[in-house]
Amino acid sequence: MRFLTRSLTGLFLFAITLGFLAAGFAALKSAIDIRTAPSMAGRPSAERSFSARVARLEPQRIAPSLTAYGEVQSRRTLELRAPAAGEVVELAPDLADGARVTAGQLLVRTDPADAQSAVALARAGLTNAEAEVRDAAYALELAQADLKVAEEQVTLRQGAYDRQKGIGERGFGTATDIETAELALSTANQSLVSRRQSLAQAQARADQSKTALEMQKLTLAEAERRLSETELRAGFAGVLTGVTVVAGGLVAKSEKLGELVDPNDLEVSFRVSTEQYSHLADAEGRLAALPVIVELETSSGHFGATGTLSRVDATVGAGVSGRLLFATLKDPVGLKPGDFVTVTVAEAPIDGVALLPAVAVGPDGNLLLVGAENRLEAAPAEIVRRQGDAVIVRVGDLAGREVIIDHSPLLGAGILVRPVRGDEKSEAPEAGRDSTMIDLTPERRAALISFVEGSGQMGADAKERLLAQLREDRVPAATVQRIEARMGG
């Protein structure tokens, strides 16, 4: 039994060895046949080409636009503060947030009783001061007249004394008469001095009365000012916000009662980079008065306004960079202070440039141009501005050349392309329009079939139609080009 088992095992191993030798001999014979078989003229493989959209570079005059985001604010905002302390006795009927008021309209009045009493007392004091001025003026006139009379008496007494002295010198008068005339002259002089003193006192009284009148006028003006401070009026026409005052409440001096905002005098503040600011400044570094467009997008529409750049902030500010700009708005419709808006600034036009999609410029900063025989050439791009998904490039010597506007990693200098211009479709011609049939290598056929079967963008009918064409011996060239274009190669 053990001998039989060993015999069968040896026979099985011998059969396996013969099988391996036969398979090796067959493989060797096949290789020798292929090696010694006469070569057959094969169809040369076609060079791959790529479909690419192109545009012609033509120098144009383009005005770049700068987009930023800013906040709307009012150029005129007035804090409403109580000018005097007291009880609120009167409020405007429409004193509330969002209410419109006119210039000079009464908004709040505090209790004016004490101020009115002070005005009445000041006016009474003014009346007394005016009466004192009149009395002092009359007294001054009388003192001046009295002085004039005294001066006349001195003149008469001096003449009488001179005559009496002359008579005495001629021997006709007596010493007593001369002494009497001299005494009368002395009395007249003394009276003159007294009248001059009275005139000086009258003059001083008149000056003091005028000073007292001016002081009383100031007192009355102060009292009237305090009376006017019991009323708070609108400084200009606008809209109220942040109103906190109520009727009957007590307010302190300078207590904030709300704010008055001018809704028609608005501006927008927005920040730009230093490089962007250099495009908005003139040759002397001053901000140019460029037009701006302000828009506020909503779900149901948008609000907008136009304006002009007005000024730039004097400092940069801590923790920020760039420049803070301000633009004055004209006829803002629907915009309110505090709105976050989109600001578009129209820069000065630039000549000799072209607008291209941003993807037209490669990572190396080059443009791909269509050259001879539809082969690509690389040329450096002189980028003037970047705005959104587009770039503005300087045309220069590239005027009239066609440039690839869909830059792809598969494209580069020397690559053969099929230009797709603006008036052409990106797809290759259909099979019915191009009857060229080509042979496919097994590897190329397998790659095409695998791509079609794995595509999730084709419908079932389209897949079946393309697969049926690919399984034929000869396949339409247009179909192969269309599939390879979608494959990216």
Q: According to the model, what pLDDT value does residue 202 have?
A: 86
pLDDT value of position 432: 34
Q: How far is CA 260 from CA 78, 93, 232, 251, in A?
A: 5, 16, 12, 18
Q: Which residues contact 306 (CB under 8 A, 6 or more apart)?
A: 291, 292, 293, 294, 329, 330, 331
- In the chain, count H helices and then E strands: 7, 25
Quick one: pLDDT at residue 434? 42
At 13, the amino acid letter reads L
CA distances from 219 to 86, 212, 225 (A): 21, 10, 10
Residue type, 361: V
How far apart are alpha carbons 269 and 324 in whole angstroms? 7
pLDDT tens for the chain, residues 1 to 489: 576 777 778 777 888 888 888 887 777 777 776 667 554 444 455 667 788 888 888 898 888 888 899 999 999 999 999 988 888 988 888 888 888 999 989 999 999 988 889 999 999 999 999 998 899 888 888 888 888 888 888 888 788 777 777 777 776 767 777 778 778 778 888 888 888 888 888 888 888 998 999 999 999 999 999 998 888 999 898 899 989 888 888 988 889 999 999 988 999 999 999 888 988 888 788 888 899 999 988 776 678 899 999 999 988 888 888 899 999 999 888 888 988 999 999 888 889 999 988 888 888 888 988 888 888 888 898 888 888 788 899 988 888 888 988 877 778 888 888 888 765 443 433 333 344 677 788 878 888 888 888 776 566 666 777 888 888 877 887 778 777 766 654
The CATH architecture assigned to 437-487 reads: Up-down Bundle (1.20)
The predicted structure's pLDDT at residue 190: 84
- What is the predicted pLDDT for the residue at 456? 62
Please give the Cα distance from 104 to 236 (Å, whole number). Answer: 7
HSE at residue 305, side-chain half, CA atoms within 13 A, is 20
CB count in 10 Å sphere of residue 126: 17
Domain layout of the chain by residue ranges: 119-204, 262-346, 350-421, 437-487
d(CA 442, CA 451): 14
In terms of Cβ atoms closer than 10 Å to its own Cβ (0-12, 13-18, 19+), residue 438 is: middle
Please give the Cα distance from 464 to 474 (Å, whole number): 17
Going 9 to 15 to 18 to 19, the CA torsion angle's sign is: negative
**pLDDT, position 333:** 81
Helix runs in 175-262, H state only = 175-228
Residue pair 327/294 in contact (Cβ under 8 Å)? The answer is yes
**Using an 8 Å Cβ cutoff, are 334 and 349 in contact?**
no
CATH of 262-346, one of 2.40.128, 1.25.40, 2.40.30, 3.90.25: 2.40.30
Question: Which residue in this structure is represented by tokens 């009167």?
Answer: 90
Q: β-strand 402-404 against 50-56: which pairing, if any?
A: antiparallel
Q: 262-346 with 437-487: one CATH topology?
A: no
- pTM for this one? 0.58
Could you count the other beta carbons within 10 Å of the beta carbon of residue 232? 24
* Cβ partners under 8 Å of residue 342, min gap 6: 67, 68, 69, 294, 295, 296, 297
Alpha-carbon span 318 to 335, nearest angstrom: 29
**What whole-number distance in Å separates Cα of residue 281 and Cα of residue 422?**
37
**Antiparallel, parallel or unpaired: β 50-56 and 417-420:** parallel
Which of 250, 223, 258, 259 shows the shortest CA–CA distance to 110? 250
Q: Spell out the CATH class of 350-421.
A: mainly beta
